[in-house]
Structure 1
Amino acid sequence: MMQMTVKELEYIADSLSNENLLIKQCAVAAAAAGNPAIRQTCSQMIEVHRQHYALLLNMLEQHQQTAPGH
C-alpha cells in the first residue's frame, strides 16, 4: 500500500466530517418529513452516508497500520 500524503489524509478527515454532517441532516429531514416516501428516501441516504463514512474510516485505519513508527 502506498503512503498517503498529509494533504490526502486531511482530505479524508474532512470527508469524514462531511459524511457525519450529512447523516445528521438526513436524520433531521427524515424526522421532519410528513411523507412516508420522503422519510424512506432520507433513511436510505443515511445508510449510504454511513457506508461512505465506514469506508473512509477504514482507509485511515489502514494508513495508520502502515505508517512508519506505528
Structure 2
Amino acid sequence: MRKYDRTNGIILAGKAWEIREYLKKMKKRYETVYDWCSHSKKVHTAAATPRKNKGSLSIVRPIVVNGKGEAR
C-alpha cells in the first residue's frame, strides 16, 4: 500500500483490505480526518520529470489531482 500526503488531503493506493486496515489504525490515532491531514507531512513539489524507457510510449500523462486530469 502507498500513502501520498498532499496539501489538500491524503491519497491511499493499494488493495482494499490494506486500505481498510490502515484506516482502522489511523482511527485509533486521530479523531477526525481533518486532524489526520493537519498532522501529516505535506508534499508541495510535483513529481520528478518522467524518463522514457526504451520501447515505452512517447505520451507523458498528466498528474492526476482528485481523480480529475488537472495538472498542478
TM range (shorter): under 0.3
Higher helix proportion (structure 1 or 2): 1
User: Which is bigger in relative contact order (C-alpha 8 A, separation at least 6)?
Assistant: 1
TM-score by length of 1: 0.27
TM-score by length of 2: 0.26
Higher strand proportion (structure 1 or 2): 2
